[in-house]
């Protein structure tokens, strides 16, 4: 019964569909079969690459509702921003080798990221102003014997600050591509 509901939801409505060989279907329909097979396995985590491709509107709506009902983590790669907006309730971005988690859908992620980058840029600019002020003081008084102790103290403080964990790096201007690979999946065949 569960298989019948899954088939109907994915667009297999002809009475002959359950009897047809998988090889007789087109690539898009084979993808639907594979998606249904994965969803029927009740996985603990889902890795989905363009899951809404080759699905009609009704099937996409069903898939969105189905995925929202699952209490499991998912990694979804999709160019369909509306699909991601309707399915995702958090976004994890990999940036500069670290993960950053955002709560909310894709639109919320974009807003939060803009705000985060603006705050980061403001902190960076404040920090650079502080460094500039310290360097100006050091340069101005480096040959003044009466201020030698102050100059030396500020030089040490500045060096310590610039190597500390609180030092704010410049916000990334260009997107860097991340590359990773997953082992081949041998347990699944559509």
Model pTM score: 0.66
Q: Specify whether 123 is located in the same domain as 66.
A: no
Closest CA to 110 of 138, 133, 85, 86: 85
Across the chain, which has 190 residues, the per-10-residue mean pLDDT values are 77 70 76 81 90 84 88 92 95 87 96 93 94 95 93 95 88 62 65
- Residue 60 confidence (pLDDT): 86
Please tell me the distance from the alpha carbon of residue 94 to that of residue 176, in angstroms, as a whole number: 10
Quote the domain boundaries for residue 141. 117-162
26: in domain: yes
Q: Specify whether 19 is located in the same domain as 68.
A: yes
- Residue 115 confidence (pLDDT): 95
């Amino acid at each position: 019964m569960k298989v019948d509901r899954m088939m109907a939801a994915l667009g297999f409505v002809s009475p002959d569909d359950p009897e047809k060989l998988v090889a007789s279907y087109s690539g898009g329909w084979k993808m639907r079969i594979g998606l249904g097979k994965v969803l029927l396995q009740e996985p603990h985590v889902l890795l989905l690459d363009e899951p809404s491709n080759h699905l009609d509107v009704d099937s996409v709506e069903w898939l969105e509702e189905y995925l929202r009902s699952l209490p499991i983590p998912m990694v979804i790669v999709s160019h369909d921003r509306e699909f991601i907006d309707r399915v995702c309730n958090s976004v994890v971005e990999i940036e500069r080798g670290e993960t950053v988690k955002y709560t909310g859908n894709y639109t919320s992620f974009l807003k939060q990221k803009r705000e985060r980058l603006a705050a980061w840029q403001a902190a960076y600019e404040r920090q650079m102003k502080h460094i500039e002020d310290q360097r100006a003081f050091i340069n101005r008084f480096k040959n003044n014997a009466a201020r030698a102790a102050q100059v030396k103290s500020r030089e040490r403080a500045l060096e310590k600050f610039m190597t500390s964990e609180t030092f704010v790096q410049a916000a990334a201007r260009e997107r860097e591509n991340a590359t990773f690979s997953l082992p081949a999946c041998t347990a699944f065949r559509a």
